[in-house]
Amino acid sequence: MSGYLFTHPDVNAFFTSLQGLPREQIRTKVQAYLAANPQVRDDITAIRQPNNDFRDRRGFSGKPAGLPVAP
Report the pLDDT value the prediction gives residue 68, as an integer from 0 to 100.
63
For the segment 7-32, the average pLDDT, to the nearest whole number, is 97
**Span of 12-26, 29-43, 50-64 with lowest mean pLDDT:** 50-64
Percent of the chain at pLDDT > 90 equals 65
Rounded to whole angstroms, what are the CA distances from 3 to 15, 22, 28, 42, 62? 14, 26, 25, 16, 25
For the segment 9-13, the average pLDDT, to the nearest whole number, is 98
At residue 27 the predicted structure's pLDDT band, cuts being 50, 70 and 90, is very high
